[in-house]
A and B are shown apart, each in its own frame.
Chain A
Amino acid sequence: MTVLSAAISSWFTTRNWTIHPHQQVMLGRADHPATLLIAPTGGGKTMAGFLPTLAELADGNHQGLHTLYISPLKALAADIKRNLRTPVDEMSLPIRIDDRTGDTPQSRKKRQRADPPHILLTTPESLALLISYPDAARTFAGLQRVVVDEIHALAESKRGDQLMLALARLQTLCPNLRRVGLSATVDDPQAIAQFLARHPDPCEVLQADPGPTPDIQMLQSTEAPPWAGGGAAYSIPAVMEQIKAHNTTLIFHNTRAQAEIFFHNLWLANDDALPIGIHHGSLDRDQRNRIEAAMVRGDLRAIVCTGSLDLGLDWGDVDLVIQIGAPKNVKRLVQRIGRANHSYNTPSKALLVPANRFEVLECRAALEAVRQGDLDGEPRGPGPRDVLCQHILITACAGPFEANDLFAEMITAGAYATLTRPEFDACLGFCATGGYALQAYDKWQRLLQLPDGCWQLRDPRASQRIRMNLGTIQDSDTLKVRLKRSRGGKPLGEIEEAFAASLTPGDTFLIGGQTVRYEGLREMTVEVTRRSGKRPKIATFTGTKFATSTQLNARILALLQQGNWLNLPDHTSSWLTLQQQVSQLPEPGRLLIESFPHQSRPHLCIYGFAGRNAQQTLGLLLTKRMEEMGLDPLGFVATDYATMIWGLKTVNDPAPLFELAALRDGLDSWLGENAVMKRSFRACATIAGLIERNSPTARKSGRQATFSSDILYDTLRKYDPDHLLLQITRTEALRGLVDFGRIEEMIDRIGPRIDLRHLPAITPLAAPLLLEMGKVPIKGAAMEKLLQQEAADLMQKSGLSSLPD
């Protein structure tokens, strides 16, 4: 039982604070191997994590690192450092605190390794780097505790897997290491506890008082939401009213592009010149820091943001959270709301703003679910093996290792507890030689086994390359954006290469809320000048796509079942009424398919309500079937509730398309060629170390040196179909993006009950899909026909076709 020292107790007294019950319990359990605390933001969660550390360090006898604090965000690490310094200094405790992230200058990083502070605040990636150094044992000598903040967020991604493997290594270096996890509300606390603990240690779950039920409403606005899109520009007058009525409002968006557009439009309506900022992952770091600092000072009335601010920075003045666009799943909504009004005893306040008419339904369903405490969630699945491969390489950077020892260490990470030895050996083989059926690299293999059985890097210089490519975050290729000056203008942020490639000098786009004019590309940097007035293009950012959960979709279908929609706003109920008049509404237990011509092409709309990922897969599988049946599909687009396919031929009998046996039979070959698998492969191959994003030599202009990962994928499929990376890709794609399970569930549920309606034109329910981004082209016979046609047109128009060949 750790007792609070006099210095700490009296500090609490002078502040008129009483220690929270859960903070007291955490102190009491400070010597337990693992504890998970679930508490809302503002519940003193962070202090609960740190109090045992402060208590143990108070007498000043501990040398070197004592506590490691991990958060998913660099901003959070910096924020906590700021927040901790205040009480530590006021209590006059002899404690050194420092943070270490990608933003930390090299000089400070070097000093930290040589002479670590007592408390180090860092991110999973920076920790992975730290354990890759041969002197890691010295750096971490004396480590007692590790606090993982926002562990619910980390547990959802590969960053969490990488972190837990790193902790397994730390536990080998420091066998008495104690672990604490700090989490927001989740649907399955036991799963997070098992994720945190050293397997098979026990981990107690401590639930703090969740506080009063949140106050969530849908925004009342006189303007109607549009048909499609995620911008919600219509809601700006109403949002401005809310901002004026509160201290600090956070306005969350599902994508960066939407945040930019909204911020731009909000400022156009900002007649009172209220201080409003913008914050997202592609903005320049200094800009983000300035916004965060302004928030802490209480200088901002509103911040337009994305998930970049999703995690619990302790911002006292935030008293309203506005969610623009449907929240996609209830758990995420509840977690976001947990941030508003961190004064513990008043209810958190939130407003949902549907971005289009369909989202009105989604938001309504989400509200019901929150009121019933019905959180949605998916089981986690075993730890991904591409992260495992990267961890083997990281371990190799630190020095020679024994395979048996490393295996034993890795399976202490909960997610990898069920890893088999052959699976581990396959990953080791991949890291060493590439793991190819064709043994080709004996001379140049990356890892060598020494006579004593230990493995090590063949070339020590390879550790530089491995460290440069460390991490699991998959950003798409981005280019930095700078103001054009004679030498190095101000950096504004980043845009994606694909977007940059679409720009010609003179085009304008939004970044950081301002309109800039594209001047050109210089040394892989986009140069711009400030230009207002012209209507800007919108930069797109491919981020993670959350799918509407099964539970939410089921609720939406049930809502549609209600004959009258008095409860829904007029603009939505009239849209649904029109749909019912023109066609019909989807029903649970049946599959509605509409067929209509649009812009002289036959269209087919399938209302599966299976979530974005499954609807996307359905699009791929169905177009494949259509291709085989000579129906000439051209492309499709998917949303959370429907898939729309267009082509050259009308589909009159859809039933054969949905034969599950046929769909299942061909799944492998269909999966094999589709873009989803290739995208998954690219991510897995990058994490596992086959594709290097960063290399020691400078990036060459012209890009002849690099080639698409699709070529590697195709080559492996052709010559080495059982290769480890293809296995990993398949597992991952099936689980996440492909979501074939939901398609099976849908087809089993509907049985033969397919309703095909032929309409003369596009229907109200289908129309929004046309406005969706992310149309997938089908490169089949139809595409070739059109390519031929378009090529002929171009040649004709340019007069080149009349040239003698």
Chain B
Amino acid sequence: MTLASRRKIGNLNTMSGFDFFLSSARLTALGSGALHWPDQNLLCISDLHLGKSERQARRGGPALPPYETRDTLARLAADLQDTQATTVICLGDSFDDDAAAGALPQAEQDTITHLTTDRRWIWISGNHDPAPLNLAGEQHRDITIGPLTFRHIAQPQAQSEVSGHYHPKARLRSTSRPAFLVDGHRLILPAYGTYTGGLRSTDPALTALMGPRARAILTGPHPVPIPMPR
């Protein structure tokens, strides 16, 4: 079993990230798992799965500690503070299911309202939360900004694409961490939500999507790129 513990990067004051290009866009992979596009003042995060604990309880499972929404939003607020981003894209599966969006406690809903205020907020629909949300911001299945197209699940033939869905993780030495996967055609973001697991980059679903020279950028205090393990 991996013992990858999620680093709470919420207190990060310095902007540590790894810079790279996708198409002509200069991007930064942040150690927190968020993607920063400085030229567009844009922050992109994927697979928040807010409301997971509530959904699990609703379906008869044991009651998980009900703090993941608060924790995920706290980290997001910190990243927004650090980057001063004015556009935010939530790349799908922002909520664990459609009901979860409506079931968020008031405090968390207020936090979201606060974060979305004075920002362009874009919700991309995912497979867990396909229905329209009753929240501020724009909702799209996919969106193109500059040279890049943002959608939830990668399309095999696409170019200059940013997507999520797979919760990728990669292994170096004996450490396994959520990781960004990038090659010449696409970028797949790691899952940002607190209660999310990961899929190894060696899984056929990912090796089929990423080209032979793909890199994995490990999250953590200092993001590092490695050749994507296959």
Contacts and interface: CB of A to CB of B under 8 A. Distances in A.
B7 to A, nearest CB: 9
B194 A710 contact: no
Contact of B62 (A691, A715, A786, A794): A691
B65 A707 contact: no
Given A498-B1, A707-B196, A787-B220, 9 more contacts: A434-B63, A440-B63, A440-B105, A441-B63, A678-B3, A704-B198, A707-B198, A708-B1, A710-B5
A791 interface: yes
Interface of A: 433-434, 436, 438, 440-441, 443-446, 459, 461-462, 465, 476-477, 497-498, 675, 678, 689-692, 695, 702-708, 710-712, 714-716, 718-720, 723, 777, 779, 783-784, 786-788, 790-791, 794-795, 798, 800, 803-805
Nearest to A464: B60
Interface stretch (B117-125, B133-141, B166-174): B166-174
A788 B215 CA distance: 15
A218 to B, nearest CB: 38
B4 interface: yes
A220 B190 CA distance: 59
A704 B66 contact: no
A678 B58 CA distance: 27
B23 interface: no
B15 interface: no
A805 B226 contact: no
11 contacts: A436-B66, A438-B67, A441-B57, A444-B54, A704-B198, A710-B4, A711-B6, A716-B65, A718-B67, A777-B174, A798-B227
A702 B203 contact: yes
A707 B195 contact: yes
Contact of B3 (A675, A788, A803): A675
Most chain A CB within a 10 A radius of its CB, from B1, B174, B218, B222: B1
B6 A714 contact: yes
Contacts of A692: 61-62
Contacts of B64: 434, 690, 712
Contacts of B226: 791, 794-795
B94 interface: no
Closest 3 CB pairs of A and B: A434-B63, A440-B66, A707-B197
A705 B66 contact: no
Most chain B CB within a 10 A radius of its CB, from A443, A707, A711, A720: A707
A692 B63 CA distance: 11
Nearest to A775: B174
B199 A703 contact: yes
Contact of A714 (B5, B215, B222): B5
B155 interface: no
B204 to A, nearest CB: 10
Contacts of B54: 440, 444
Given A498-B1, A704-B167, A715 B224 contact: no
B175 A791 contact: no
Contacts of A790: 172-173
B4 A462 contact: no
Contacts of A440: 53-54, 63, 66, 105
Contact of A459 (B60, B71, B166, B218): B60
B63 A791 contact: no
A779 B175 contact: yes
Given A707-B197, A708-B197, A787 B173 contact: yes
A711 B173 contact: no
Contacts of B175: 777, 779, 783, 787
Contacts of A712: 64-65
B185 interface: no
Contacts of B13: none
Contacts of B174: 777
A689 to B, nearest CB: 6
Interface string B1-27: 111111010000000000111000000
Contacts of A720: 65, 67
Nearest to B221: A784
Contacts of A784: 220-222
A783 B167 CA distance: 24
B62 A446 contact: yes
Given A718-B8, A800-B215, A689 B62 contact: yes
Most chain A CB within a 10 A radius of its CB, from B3, B70, B199: B3
A800 B217 CA distance: 13
Interface string B104-119: 0100000000000000
Contacts of B173: 777, 786-787, 790
A702 B21 CA distance: 29
B225 interface: yes
A300 B66 CA distance: 57
Given A459-B60, A718-B71, A794-B227, A438 B66 contact: yes
Given A433-B63, A441-B63, A711 B213 contact: no
B172 A711 contact: no
Given A497-B1, A715-B67, A795-B225, A461 B60 contact: yes
B205 interface: yes
A436 B65 contact: yes
B97 interface: no
A521 to B, nearest CB: 11
A791 B224 contact: yes
B63 A445 contact: yes
A702 B205 contact: yes
Contact of B197 (A446, A704, A795): A704
Nearest to A711: B6
Given A440-B54, A794-B226, A465 B8 contact: no
Contacts of A704: 166-167, 196-199
A787 B66 CA distance: 34
Interface in B166-208: 166-167, 172-175, 194-199, 203, 205
Most chain B CB within a 10 A radius of its CB, from A438, A689, A691, A692: A438
